[in-house]
Amino acid sequence: MTTPRVNLLDHTLAELEEFYAGLEEPAFRARQTWKWMHQHGVSDFSEMTNLSKKLRQYLTDHCTIEAPEIVLEQPSEDGTRKWLLRLADQQCIEMVFIPERERGTLCVSSQVGCALDCTFCSTARQGFNRNLSLAEIIGQVWLANNQLRKSKDDIRPVTNVVMMGMGEPMANYNNVVNAMRIMLDDNAYGMSRRRVTLSTSGIVPAMYRLADDIEVALAVSLHAPNDELRNQLVPINKKYPIADLLDACRNYLKGKSQRERITFEYVMLAGVNDSLAQADELAALLEGLPCKVNLIPFNIFPGTKYTCSSRNAIFRFRDRMMSLGVNTIMRKTRGDDIDAACGQLAGQVNDRSRRELRFAKLEMEATL
């Protein structure tokens, strides 16, 4: 029986140093390997020219640098790109790259499916399958950078990451935090802590833990101005109601710079949460909390009972919030034509009943 190869992407720096200690290699060799892997996107050990020949040979024989595999790349008219990725166990996830003038944002998945059952989210439809490993999370950043470097268009690589793909990042806490540490690490991706955002539906105990463990930007999926409505839209609210959630937000900002803000995401659902009275209620709720509110046009998907608020309703809501002193913006929808917008990721592929069929179609498209 052959032992499986050790995937170096699945290691924190400390773990890699420990692995190297077992090979009687000094810690600085682990850091050199780390830089080749994360800064230069190298996966062929023979290219790691400052390592000894012996070590390179050992790594070639026993190790691998293996990110998820690209099944399909879909470019959108607006420059957004969506990649469908296959994991070793054949499950699929998606990641989305959104280029803007000043930055390039990668939307990263943390789980296959999601257990939280938010009623307006298409990922929720497929149920929860499993957590992604560290290699599968940081591998998305590794892969996107490599793909973007290869591309002929003059596109900047990933400068920002939002943990807003499939899944609830707080429910895969250790792997997500370890992956974000690698994103921030100067010897790896070197992103500033304001450029890495974790988005949560409000797993309150994990928000306290996060405040102690790592400094990144925090976004909270609020979506409703009171518990009664939030219980319906984001059912985890029954366990962690709004008052507790906002306490956890205040705690997160404690001791941080005055410039720090929590971002509240608020999906605009026609006739459900978009009235002026609800804007008033929301503004009152957030009073005194350093924050900004991001209004997200609802992205429709097959079978949903919701529709998106009209542009007018969204602007009215925003203006009311602004007049009440809450910094509120409307999030631009990107990648609409390729189903890359918020809450639409990979539902179709992982829906078990349609998976085979859908795969056949995708493979076909990929070869065209």
Q: Which of 23/270 has CB closer to ligand SAH?
A: 270
Beta carbon of residue 195, minimum distance to ligand SAH (angstroms, whole number) = 17
For the chain, the residue count is 368
Residues 39-68 that bind ligand SAH (CB under 6 A): none
Q: Which of 97/120 has CB closer to ligand SAH?
A: 120
User: Looking at 25, 136, 168, 339, which residue binds ligand SAH (CB under 6 A)?
Assistant: 168
The neighbouring-strand residues paired with 104 are: 99
Distance of CA 351 to the CA centre of its chain: 20
Q: Which of 48/203 has CB closer to ligand SAH?
A: 203
Beta carbon of residue 298, minimum distance to ligand SAH (angstroms, whole number) = 5
Beta carbon of residue 115, minimum distance to ligand SAH (angstroms, whole number) = 10
C-beta of residue 324 within 8 angstroms of C-beta of residue 280: yes
Buried b (16+ CB within 10 A) or exposed e, 50-68: ebeeebbeebeeebbbbbb
Binding track over 210-249 against ligand SAH, x by CB under 6 A: -----------x----------------------------
Q: Residue 113: phi, psi to the nearest 5?
A: 80, -165
Rounded-to-10 torsion of CA 189, 347, 237, 160: 20
Q: Which of 32/199 has CB closer to ligand SAH?
A: 199
Binding track over 92-131 against ligand SAH, x by CB under 6 A: --------------------------x-xxx---------
Long-range contacts (CB closer than 8 Å, 24 or more residues apart) made by 254-262: 254/211, 256/215, 258/290, 260/290, 261/290, 261/291, 261/292, 261/327, 262/218, 262/219, 262/220, 262/289, 262/290, 262/291, 262/292
Beta carbon of residue 237, minimum distance to ligand SAH (angstroms, whole number) = 11
342 is catalytic: yes
114 is catalytic: no
Q: Which of 28/315 has CB closer to ligand SAH?
A: 315
Beta carbon of residue 167, minimum distance to ligand SAH (angstroms, whole number) = 6
Stretch that binds ligand SAH, among 66-74, 97-105, 193-201, 315-323 (CB under 6 A): 193-201
User: Looking at 108, 164, 203, 248, which residue binds ligand SAH (CB under 6 A)?
Assistant: 164
Rounded-to-integer distance, Cα 361 and Cα 368, Å: 11
User: Looking at 342, 346, 349, 362, which residue binds ligand SAH (CB under 6 A)?
Assistant: 342
Look-up: residue for tokens 């924050």? 291
The DSSP 8-state label assigned to residue 88 in this structure reads T
User: Looking at 172, 199, 237, 350, which residue binds ligand SAH (CB under 6 A)?
Assistant: 199
User: Looking at 80, 160, 200, 309, which residue binds ligand SAH (CB under 6 A)?
Assistant: 200
What tokens appear for 67 in the block?
């990110």
Q: Which of the following is catalytic: 25, 94, 136, 168?
A: 94
Rounded-to-integer distance, Cα 123 and Cα 145, Å: 25
The vertex-331 CA angle with 99 and 274, nearest 5°, equals 165
Nearest Cα to 245, choosing from 314, 291, 279?
291
Beta carbon of residue 110, minimum distance to ligand SAH (angstroms, whole number) = 8
Task: Give the number of other CB atoms < 10 A from CB of residue 37.
Answer: 22
Beta carbon of residue 203, minimum distance to ligand SAH (angstroms, whole number) = 9
Q: Return the amino acid letter for 251.
A: N
- Known catalytic residues are 94, 342
List of residues contacting ligand SAH (CB under 6 A): 118, 120-122, 164, 168, 199-201, 221, 265, 267, 296, 298-299, 342-343
